[in-house]
Structure formats: structure tokens, C-alpha cells
Amino acid sequence: YVKHTGLNDDLGVSVAEDNWAVSLVYLGYLIFAIPSTLLLRYVDTNIYFSVIMLAWGLINVSMGFIKTVPQLLALRFLLGMTIAGFFPGMITYLSQCYPVKQRTIRIAVFYAAGIISGAIGGILVSAQGQLMSIPPYVCACVFAIIGSFSATSFNEHGYHVAFFIIIAGVSFALMAILDTVSPVAVYVSGCFACAGKYSAYALLIAWLAKNLSGRIRRSLAVAFTVGLGQIGGAILPFIMNDKNEPNFRQIYITSAVVMAVIMFPTLLLRFISTNREKSTAINHTEVLEKANSVHDAQI
């Protein structure tokens, strides 16, 4: 982080401190995702998002005036705490603005816009020569939107999420295998890995926003899921080596394993959802049959 922002020239940040500067943002996000989102129950939406965006900007500007490493670490944690309520809050807000059938597409479009903005922001932070980072995010946007249309058309999210997780897992595995063989193959696999993981995440969030009733219940589920997703960002700096360059092969392997692990709860959630739908359908049928029986008896 400090290498790309130029802070290392002023602060003399060590590798460990640099790792913490990255990790603390995700830790702040993880801790405050649920509390921040619950504030939507008590604070007007306009005020809520305005305060978040204002604080977000002020903290980023304050980064230019820090003098010590503790100040850097404190601001990084505050940044994570501040932005923690934005994404889950927006998902909750969008789920209230659109009917159930439109939520998946709306959320996917919003998420795709975030992917593109993140790519552009990364280019601006990393200065020139980073244009090759754009195609993976473009692929992610295209896949996410196509996946959302497909999930909406078939009214099915679980298997769509699993499909994109498989794409991401296989792509990460190929990146690990081909790491020292073909840079081009690694790059192409990276495009599919990016597309798979972002599409799966967008559909998972939309799945929750679509199926959970009640504003508080939906907010808690989305905030918990989004917050839980920050664990990867919090531990990623510490699985790199202590040299200037990270061990990419280790990162690829770790990512592939994570994709394989999260496949099981995804399919379990799909199984539970299917059984619940069947149970609801059976109960509805029984109620109709009883009502028809009563009606026939009266006739």
C-alpha cells in the first residue's frame, strides 16, 4: 500500500507495518459492518449516506497530512469503520426501492459499477502502466450482469452462484499451475477468476436481498455476509512473503482452496432453500384442499 501511495518515502514504513495498513481497513469493515448498517433503522437515508461519503473523503484527505506510522494505522482503521456501512446499506436501500423480481439485476448493475470504479481507482493510485488491470474487471462486470439476467429469468440463484464459484476456483488453480509456464495463460485465467468471484459475490448478495423478508433481518444478513467477506482482505497481507514481491503462486493456491471450501455452504444453502420452497408449496396445497373440502361440504 505505502509503496504505491509514496508514503514510504516520508514514513519509512516496514513490511509488517505496511501489512497492517492494509489489514486494518478490512478489520474495521468487518467489525462495524453490522452496527453501521443497523443505523439505517434510526437515521434518514439521505443523512446516512451523506455522512459516510463526507467522512470517507475527509479521512482520505487526512492521509496526506500524517507524520507517523501510528497515525497511518489509526486512519486506515477509521477508513474501514467509515465505509463499512456503505455497501450493505446500499444493498438494503435498493432492496426497498425495487420489487423482488428486479432486485437481482439492480444489485448486479450497482455492484458492476463498483467494480469498474475500483479498477479505475487502482489505476490512479498505481500511476501509469496499469491498463492491463482493466480487462479482468470488465470481464467481471459482463459476467455479473449476464449472470443476474440468467438468475432472474430462471428464478434460480444457488446454482448460478455455485457455477461462478467453480469458474473462479478452476481459474485460480490454473493460475497456480501455469504461474511459471505462461504469463499469458495466467493473465487469461485471471480474467476468468476475477469474473467468477465477483459474479458469485454479486449473485449471493442479491439472493439474500431477494429472499429474506423484513428490513432488519435483511440488513443483518447482508451486513454479516459482506463483513465476513472482508476476512480475506484482512489476512491476505500476512500470507505474502517478507520480500518486496508477493508470492503469487501461494495466493493463487489459497484462493482456489477458499473457492472449494465455500462451495459446500453454497450448495447447503441451496438445498435448504429448495426444501423450504417445497414445504411452503405443500402447505399451500393442503390449505387449498381443505378450503375446497369445506366448500364442497357446504354445497
Q: In this predicted model, what pLDDT tens digit does every residue of 189-219 receive, in sequence order? A: 999 999 999 999 999 999 888 887 777 888 8
- Supply the CATH number for residue 192's domain: 1.20.1250.20
Average pLDDT score over the chain: 84
Site of grid cell 430462471: 154
* Residue 232 confidence (pLDDT): 81
Would residue 187 count as lying in a domain? yes
Task: Output DSSP code: residue 275.
Answer: H
**What is the tally of structural domains in the chain?**
1
* Predicted local confidence at residue 216, as pLDDT: 82
Which range in 168-172, 239-243, 287-291, 293-297 is most confidently predicted, on average pLDDT? 168-172
Q: What is the pLDDT of residues 235-292, one digit of tens each?
A: 878 776 555 566 788 889 989 999 999 888 888 877 877 776 666 555 555 555 565 5
**Is residue 297 assigned to a domain?**
no
So what's the pLDDT on residue 77? 95
Residue type, 27: L
- Does residue 91 contact residue 49 with C-beta atoms inside 8 Å? no
Sorted by sequence, the CB contacts under 8 Å of residue 227 that are 6+ apart come out as 29, 30, 31, 33, 34, 84, 88
Residue 68 has pLDDT above 80, yes or no: yes
Its domain, for residue 224, covers: 6-279
- The overall pTM is greater than 0.85: no
Residue 296 lies in a domain: no
Closest C-alpha to 31, from 93, 83, 73: 83
Cβ contact 100:49 at 8 Å: no
286 found inside a domain: no
What confidence tens digit (pLDDT) does each residue in 134-163 have?
A: 889 889 999 999 999 999 999 888 899 999
